[in-house]
Structure 1
Amino acid sequence: MNNRRWFTILLASIMMIGLLSACSGDKNKNGGNSGGASSSAPSGAGASKAADPIKLTMWGGVPPESGPQAVVDAWNAAHPDVQVEYVRFVNDDDGNLKLDTAMLTDQGVDIYVNYTLSQTEKRVEAGVALDLSELGDYNIDEKMGPDAALWKINDKYYGVPTKKNAFFVALNKDMLDAAGLAVPKSWTWDEARQYAKQLKADGRYGFIQHLEPFYDPMDSVLVKEGYTKADGSSNLDHPLIRKWLETLNGMMKEDQSTPPLGEQMSTQLPVDTSFLSGQAAMLNIGEWLIRSSNNMTDFPRDFKIAFAPVPRLADNEADYITRGGLGDFVSVNAKSKHKNEAWEFVKWYADGGMAPMAAGGRLPASKDVDKQVAMDSLLGDKADTYDLASLEYVLYGDTTPTYVRGVPQQVIDLRTQEYEKYFLGSQNIDKTIGNMVSRHNDFLKQ
């Protein structure tokens, strides 16, 4: 069942529950103020109740110990009149469904974090994301920069993007030095392939990645060139799409410098661990790696990590757009009984309150946050185990334009299903491209 249909059914059910409750519960109404601070109460027991702190609930996908608990503890210590509780949901389909259900059934969600634009859009449609233009006292574009606009829906903000997304290739600096290879600041996938060939060894891959970044190079092309052509038909047969698939297939089968897809899927290869244990020289990943690479107890290593931008398919650097932008889009539930207080927390969080999140790999995006404070929090006492110049470059110095993936999940799925057949050897490249185009055209006709 698609998301829109599910929401329609759920909303209808909730409306019916509301009507039944209204018929039987009018006598219990107390006329409370649902848009801000609690209304005044009479003396006696009611006065004691009014003096209780306002309680807000924030839902997010990061484990409490990776920063969120420290954030709410700091807020609560400074704001005894408004106390925040953090609730963790797992950022997968089931976890997001749990959050959506809690909001649509008024289970006390005041603030929540969106991790994709598509999730945000469906929550706006469901009426559980507050239109921040109603408040107007915080300039998101000025605070967060031009990348913030990628999160606008119908030219409005329904939350604040708070985290600077960073995607990069982590490199074993010791292996690079031994091979006489420099840390790249700009490179192509052809160059990365050569690096991988030189860095591979017995029991060691030259390059490794999770399955999710497989389609990043395709989107970097299509965001620039368009997912459809001028006539409205699929652009999945763009020459650079073919080039990417053939490059990765060659690395798997000809060079044997990256794991074959079949092996990676069947063994559920732990790619982060493989890199941190020295079984791979390069890892295509993002800033969340730092959470594991700082953990020398569970992931001991004796080498320094360097960083490079994600390689590009386009020969011309000026034509390249890379995945990045901003993330952790924090919204206020439009149904919250304490919207004003929730909004004060969100502003505080975005402008520096989220600093403890850097320890878990989440860098604040606001220009008002001290960069060095964020870096110190990110690296802790492990700074000397990183090549700091290359890390600072990929986090703050690379000026390549970025995108936030907004392609429909159905398109992601159909592409994945077809290129997996190619990498597994069950169909050739022509059939793969043809099937992707045909299925995409069918989707576009819908």
Structure 2
Amino acid sequence: MKKISWFALIGMLLMVFLAACSGNDETSSGEDGSSSDDQITLKFVHWINDDVGKWESLIAKYEEENPNVKIESMPLVENMNSEDYFKQLDLMASAGEKMDLVMFSNMNDWVKRIDAGLVAPINEYLDAEGIDINEVYNNTYPAIDGNYYGLPMKNVTNLVMINKQHLDEAGLEIPTEWTWEDYQKYAEQLTTDDHYGSYLHSWHNTHSSLKLLSKPENTMILKEDGSSNADDPMLKASLELRNQLENADKTSVPFTEILSQKLDYRQQFFSGEASMIPIASYMITEWGQFTPDFEIAWAPWPKNSADDEAYSAMGGDLVSVAQNSEHKQEAYDFMRWLTTEGIVEQGVWVPSWKEADLDTVLEKLASGTENPDAIDMESLKNALTSVQPSKSFAPPSYVTEAYTEFDAEVELYLLGEQDLETTMQNIQEKVQAVVDANQ
């Protein structure tokens, strides 16, 4: 019996050894126990629907070139509203759901999620590839404590979008260089019984900070060192300008209507309800459900005075690798392709990638829209190239809290519930209180 048991044991061990060898010949195991030859799925969360982003065809191209990778495009909202998207993103993150790539529309929301531990640094991948991110891309989001947390995708420039038909009817030229005083005059001349000359949305960090954004630096509610910037004279002048347009001149859609009717800025412009909107260059193609039946003119971001140099805030969407991703290298590889060859192939946005040719890119963007003739190309090129970028920096995470305090006071002012002096005093006190509580 002992002899039979011994041979049986030898046979079992031999079978196990041969099976192990056979397995190693076929595949090699990864750290998570999965085969390296297995197809992996990367979950890419964002807010851009496929009609605009053309993700399906773009992803198909990448998957064809990388058959072991499947990209799952996950737009978290249907309305392409980034504010709603971030709410859904936070719910997803708090539930511990797996994700691999996360798209951000602005630096403020990006910094907040870095502090929350949502995204991972990518320095090791940049170093392994041997690239200097600032030499490859325009408008790179700044490093935080020496770490980079993503790659810029779009190059987004602030500008003014104008209904050219309304300009022609009013006998006005497309502005090639102008001031906020000029904007105010244009709004007055463009306003008719049928439409307003201007529309300023409920984004107080832009549409209630118009003149602040025309400066070469310190364009936010906080300065680079985290201190308050609420006492900047251009912030007060911005509120005064908006109130003048909406409540005195009555040439811009009143804030009361924006809130009570829950107005959408795309609807207001493309339906002809408003002639001008200070916006950013993502609107070259991001028309949503609308197809303009008029030509769109583009003007550079207005200056505070005629003698000033022309500046514009520049930034753009950024893609980050999620901290809880189990496939960070593959996520980085897709992110690099998406922010270079991919975004050019996509033909939807102006890339941050420096090697992209602007003329070719803009022609492709226009040709990919529902109405290519709607884009006045000459004025668009001027609006993008005639301004210098204002200095950008990564604000502290409490900038969101500071803007929340700012927003509340601005709304009271625009609704006529408190005067400008009280508003500015409250803003300065409350923003300083946020700074004090976080430093």
Q: TM-score, normalised by structure 2?
A: 0.80
Cα distance in 1 for residues equivalent to 2:380 and 2:72: 34
Structure 2 counterparts to residues 6-155 of structure 1, below 5 A: 41-42=23-24, 51-65=37-51, 66-90=53-77, 91=82, 92=84, 93-101=86-94, 105=96, 107-135=97-125, 136=127, 137=129, 138-145=131-138, 147-148=139-140, 150-155=141-146
Distance in 2 (alpha carbons) for counterparts of 1:404 and 1:357 = 28
Corresponding letter in the other structure for 1:432: T
- Following TM superposition, by how much is the alpha carbon of 1:77 offset from its aligned partner in structure 2, in angstroms? 1.4
* CA spacing shift, 1:120–1:204, aligned 2, 3 Å: closer
* 1:76-129, Cα deviation, whole Å (9 max, x unpaired): 111112222222224434212134236xx4x44222223333443344445553
Q: Cα distance, 1:262 vs. partner? A: 1.0
**CA pair 435-348 structure 1, distance change in 2 beyond 3 A:** same
The aligned counterpart of 1:345 is 334
- Matching of residue 250 in structure 1 with residue 232 in structure 2: no
Question: Is the CA contact (8 Å cut-off) linking 2:311 and 2:387 kept in structure 1?
Answer: no
Q: 1:175-194, aligned counterparts within 5 Å?
A: 175-194=166-185
What are the ranges of 5 or more consecutive residues in structure 2 without an aligned counterpart?
1-21
Q: Which residue of 2 aligns with 1:332?
A: 321
1:426 aligns with 2:408: no
- The residue that corresponds to 2:272 in the other structure is 278
Distance 1:310 1:250 in 2: 19
Deviation at 1:317, TM superposition (A): 1.9
Question: 2: distance between equivalents of 1:340 and 1:300?
Answer: 39
The match for 2:253 among 241, 253, 259 is 259
Distance of aligned partners of 1:125 and 1:268 in 2 relative to their CA distance in 1, 3 Å threshold:
closer
Q: Identify the match of residue 157 of structure 2 among 128, 148, 166.
A: 166
Please list the CA deviations of residues 367-419 of structure 1 after superposition, one character each: whole Å capped at 9, or x if unmatched: 22333443233212633222111112223443343547847112111112112
Residue 274 of structure 1, CA deviation = 2.6
Change (3 A) 1:121 1:399: closer
For the Cα contact (< 8 Å) 1:323–1:404, is it kept in 2?
no
What's the CA shift for 1:192? 0.3
Partner of 1:363: 350
Q: Which of the two has higher C-alpha Rg?
A: 2
Q: 1:124 to 1:430 in 2, by over 3 A?
A: closer
- Once the 2 structures are TM-superposed, how far is the Cα of residue 316 of structure 1 from its aligned partner? 4.1
Report the more deviating stretch, 235-244 or 338-347.
235-244
**Do 1:167 and 1:310's aligned partners in 2 also have CA atoms closer than 8 Å?**
yes
How many pairs were matched up?
Answer: 395
Partner of 1:435: 426
Counterparts of 1:212-231 in structure 2 under 5 Å?
212=203, 213-217=206-210, 219-220=212-213, 223-224=217-218
Alpha-carbon distance in structure 2 between the residues aligned to 1:63 and 1:391: 24
Structure 1 letter corresponding to 2:102: Y
Q: Deviations over 1:343-384 (max 9, x none)?
A: 22121111111235443xx32210223334432332126332
- The reply on whether 1:312 has 2:312 as its aligned counterpart is no
Change (3 A) 1:128 1:358: same
8 Å contact 2:216–2:391 — kept in the other structure? no
The answer to whether the 8 A contact 1:272-1:283 is kept is no
- The change in CA–CA distance for 1:71 and 1:402 in structure 2 (over 3 A counts) is farther
Counterpart-to-counterpart distance in 2, 1:69 and 1:130: 26
Aligned to 2:14: none
SS for the counterpart of 1:268 is: coil
Q: Which residue of 2 aligns with 1:413?
A: 404
Give the superposition deviation at 1:425: 1.2
Letter of the 1:113 partner, please give it.
M
Whether 1:354 and 2:354 are equivalent positions in the alignment is no
Deviates more, 1:77-86 or 1:216-225: 216-225
Instruction: State the percentage of identical aligned residues.
Output: 27
CA contact (8 A) 1:59 1:87 kept: yes
Structure 2 counterpart of 1:329, which letter?
A: L
Name the SS of the counterpart of 2:145 in structure 1.
coil
Q: CA separation in 1, counterparts of 2:417 and 2:134?
A: 48
Closer/same/farther in 2, CA of residues 190 and 122 from structure 1, 3 Å limit: closer
- The equivalent position to 2:387 in structure 1, one of 383, 398, 402, is 398
Cα distance in 2, alignment partners of residues 276 and 176 from structure 1:
15
Asked if 1 retains the 8 angstrom alpha-carbon contact of 2:218 and 2:391, the reply is no
Shift of 1:249: 1.2
Write out per-residue CA displacement over residues 126-185 of structure 1, whole angstroms, 9 at most, x where no aligned residue: 55533222121132111113x31x432113212111111132211122222333322122
1:378 is matched with which residue?
365
Match of 2:435 in 1: 444
User: In 1, are the aligned partners of 2:174 and 2:297 still within 8 Å (CA)?
Assistant: yes
Residue 218 to residue 300, structure 1, CA distance change in 2 (3 Å): closer
SS for the counterpart of 1:302 is: coil
Residues 151, 318 of structure 2: 8 Å contact kept? yes
Does the Cα contact within 8 Å between 1:70 and 1:356 map onto a contact in 2? no
- From the superposition, tell whether residues 51 and 429 of structure 1 become closer, same or farther in structure 2 (CA, over 3 Å): closer
The answer (yes or no) to whether the contact 2:156–2:282 under 8 Å persists in 1 is no
CA distance in 1, matches of 2:103, 2:380: 26
Q: Distance in 1 between matches of 2:260 and 2:117?
A: 42
Structure 1 residue 305 displacement after superposition: 0.9
Measure the CA separation in 1 of the matches of 2:118 and 2:270: 41
Sort the Cα spacing of 1:197 and 1:109 in 2 relative to 1 into closer, same or farther, 3 A. same
Q: Give the 3 Å change call, closer, same or farther, for CA 313–96 of structure 1 in structure 2.
A: farther
